[in-house]
């Protein structure tokens, strides 16, 4: 049982009372899982050293300590530093301690809901909101909370990308739309600051600013996906669309239909994110240069090319020869093709061999298990007897040769090795 507790502290729940009152055993348990303290005896829950070890591992273990310890400032600071939510179980006197409170909300913005109301001020709110934007939902709980709804610094803190802001298109549950005063976004100076912090803030502005060239350009340079919120005047503006997809390839999904078959626009998009190929028009998914750029950027983008090209072995082999200059992309592309067995089976043997060479030598000292996986996959339909070059790959690589021996018999191996020497 002791060994089990050492591996998983919560096992203490099922231990005999003799173990629950054994200080050394409980110490091992809480160091592995702080919440295991709740299974200790009442006497041990008053042990300060045990309590500190428990909250170091999990701040929420503060709820398990003896009530007298919740007034211990050092203990509470340790707990809220590990998990700000632990402030909920601190003594009321410490919920008015500025250092304790600030430590808590820096760890977890939601901890502001447990702060003594007489301590709430703009600095605390900005810190909490900068951590988690949905903390705005708690403003109504505080005196003068409505005042902070129209405070520019609070709004900018909520908009910062590091605040886990979730700007939801067409959502009635968007905390920023609910909690910020919409009149903030009627002022051009503030709007420019807002979209510089988070381009998606363009969503909240009035139509006048969604058709303002400086505002729109600032927004899409910060986040190309802001293209979805630009006004009609810019939806047909190629320069704006190019700027957006260059910042975020996936902004192509919001581009006007006329640009989905525009080679310059689509090339810019797939150069930034190969997966943007999925939003391209029908002409572009058959355009070799676009496909090459997309696949080189993101090998799995090949699944979005035109259906006819997916089974065009000649085209695929050409792609392989171009991508082979970069082994970090060549390997994933081969893996993508493996999922399309009817195509992969027809690939030139040399293409597959090139991958083995790249994997075993250029990636060097790489994960040789890949060799075995590929051998297992291709051995079912490639004739090893007719492929002496197959064995050249393993000539000077004993580890890879052992992989090969798993899939072919000795005569075949010896014959192939001689032919390939």
Q: Give dist(CA 368, CA 365) in Å, integer.
A: 8
Determine contact, residues 235/220, Cβ cutoff 8 Å: no
> In whole angstroms, what is the distance from residue 323 CA to residue 301 CA?
13
* pLDDT given for residue 312 in this prediction: 78
251 with 230: CB under 8 angstroms? no
Burial 288-310 (b: 16+ CB within 10 A, else e): eebbebbbbbbbebbebbbeebb
Measured distance CA(211)–CA(232) in Å, rounded: 7
The rounded radius of gyration (Å) of the Cα atoms in the chain is: 31
pLDDT on residue 367: 40
For residue 223, the model assigns a pLDDT of 95
Copy the structure tokens of residue 128.
């909490």
Mean pLDDT by 10 residues, the chain (421 residues): 67 73 86 90 92 95 94 96 95 95 93 90 88 79 77 88 52 67 93 95 94 97 96 93 96 95 96 95 93 89 85 78 68 68 54 47 38 44 42 47 49 45 41
CB–CB of 133/165 below 8 Å?
yes
Please tell me the predicted confidence (pLDDT) of residue 73: 96
pTM over 0.85: no
What pLDDT, on a 0 to 100 scale, did the predictor assign at position 171?
Answer: 43
Q: In the 3-class helix/strand/coil scheme, how is the chain assigned residue by residue?
A: CHHHHHHCHHHHHHCCHHHHCCHHHHHHHHHHCHHHHHHCCCCHHHCHHHHHHHHHHCHHHHHHCCHHHHHCHHHHHHHHHHCHHHHHHCCHHHHHCHHHHHHHHHHCHHHHHHCCHHHCCHHHHHHHHHHCHHHHHHHHHCCCHHHHCCCHHHHHHHHCHHHCCCCCCCCCCCHHHHHCCHHHHHCHHHHHHHHHHCHHHHHHCCHHHHCCHHHHHHHHHHCHHHHHHCCHHHHCCHHHHHHHHHHCHHHHHHCCHHHCCCHHHHHHHHHHCHHHHHHCCCCHHHCHHHHHHHHHHCHHHHHHCCHHHHCCHHHHHHHHHHHCCCHHHHHHHHHHHHCCHHHHCCCCHHHHHHHHHHHHHHCCCCCCHHHHHHHHHHCCCCCHHHCHHHHHCCCCCHHHHHHHHCCCCHHHHHHHHHHHC
pLDDT at res. 394: 47
């Amino acid at each position: 049982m002791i060994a089990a507790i050492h591996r998983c502290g919560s096992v203490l729940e099922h231990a005999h009372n003799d173990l629950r009152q054994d200080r050394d055993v409980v110490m091992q348990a809480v160091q592995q899982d702080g919440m295991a303290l709740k299974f200790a005896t009442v006497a041990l829950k008053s042990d300060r050293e045990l309590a500190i070890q428990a909250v170091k591992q999990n701040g929420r273990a503060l709820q398990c300590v003896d009530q007298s310890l919740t007034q211990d400032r050092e203990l509470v600071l340790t707990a809220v530093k590990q998990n700000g939510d632990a402030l909920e179980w601190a003594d009321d006197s410490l919920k008015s301690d500025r250092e304790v409170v600030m430590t808590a909300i820096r760890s977890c913005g939601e901890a502001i809901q447990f702060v003594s109301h007489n301590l709430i001020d703009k600095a605390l709110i900005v810190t909490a909101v900068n951590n988690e934007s949905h903390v705005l939902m708690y403003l109504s709980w505080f005196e003068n909370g409505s005042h902070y709804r129209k405070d520019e610094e609070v709004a900018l803190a909520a908009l910062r990308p590091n605040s886990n802001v979730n700007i939801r298109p067409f959502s009635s549950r968007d905390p920023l739309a609910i909690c910020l005063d919409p009149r903030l976004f009627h002022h051009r100076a503030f709007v420019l600051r807002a979209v510089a912090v988070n381009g998606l803030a363009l969503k909240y502005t009035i139509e006048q600013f969604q058709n303002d060239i400086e505002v729109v350009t600032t927004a899409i340079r910060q986040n190309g996906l802001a293209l979805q919120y630009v006004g009609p005047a810019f939806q047909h503006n190629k320069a704006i669309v190019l700027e957006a997809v260059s910042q975020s390839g996936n902004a192509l999904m919001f581009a006007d239909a006329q640009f989905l078959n525009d080679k310059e626009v689509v090339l810019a998009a797939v150069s930034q994110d190969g997966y943007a190929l999925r939003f391209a028009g029908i002409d572009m998914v058959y355009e070799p240069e676009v496909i090459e750029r997309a696949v080189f950027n993101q090998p799995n983008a090949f699944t979005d090319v035109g259906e006819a090209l997916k089974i065009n072995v000649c085209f695929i082999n050409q792609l392989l020869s171009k991508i082979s200059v970069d082994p970090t992309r060549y390997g994933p592309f081969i893996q993508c093709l493996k999922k399309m067995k009817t195509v992969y089976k027809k690939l030139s043997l040399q293409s597959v061999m090139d991958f083995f060479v790249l994997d075993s030598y250029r990636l060097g000292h790489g994960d040789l298990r890949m060799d075995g996986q590929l051998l297992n996959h291709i051995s079912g339909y490639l004739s090893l007897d007719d492929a002496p070059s197959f064995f050249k790959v393993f000539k000077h690589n004993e580890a890879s040769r052992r992989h090969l021996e798993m899939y072919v018999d000795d005569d075949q191996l010896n014959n192939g090795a001689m032919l390939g020497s």
